[in-house]
Amino acid sequence: MTAAVDLYQLDTGRLSEGTERAVLGVYAQWVTGELDYDTAAVVIAGIINRANAAATAVADSWLAVQIEQQARLPVPTVGIVPADDSDRLLRAATTVLDDRETGEMRLARLGRAEPLEAAHQATTEAIRHQPLVEGWTRAMDGDPCQLCRWWWRQGRTWPKAHPFQRHKGCNCQPRIVVAENIQSTGYTRQLERNRA
């Protein structure tokens, strides 16, 4: 059986690649004059905002599936509400469109990285609200960079309150752990002291 986190990475990868293609399609229409500047910026921002919302829903759903696979119990989703980043994304799109020299490359990166970032944020948020999750290990993407390999720490299990490290364009994801007695870290011990 394929692990849920592996299927989730496939979904987020496809979403990211599809968003990049769609954004570059709009960029090509703008370059050829089929779309004016304002329309292109609004459409690009809308494509990415919708992809971010989809990534949020996918993250919440796949996290519940991961828990169900491990705990053998039905688990509801948390119900993470996607952020409406229309204004921020419109500013980003106009900034990139203003730079004809590197605009295409920057738009590709924006379209690829935004859904992955939204998925990471939603997964982290959902983990905090799922009572059965005690921790996570790093499930690396198909071609992990040196930084991701270092963050992996030979498959170390981190407590759920420990932040998941990521970088732009990264499709590594937390593989949840439902076991008990996961060793705390300096970060999580500080969180516990601050709560007391």
Task: Tell me whether strands 173-177 and 158-159 are parallel, antiparallel or unpaired.
Answer: unpaired
What is the SS3 assignment for 139?
Answer: strand
pTM: 0.85
Q: pLDDT per residue over 103-138, tens digit each?
A: 999 999 999 999 999 999 999 999 999 988 988 888
- What is the residue range of 134's domain? 4-195
- Residue 139 pLDDT greater than 90, yes or no: no
Do the Cβ atoms of 123 and 59 come closer than 8 Å? yes
Candidates 65, 16, 24, 22; CA nearest to 172 is 16
Total domains in the chain come to 1
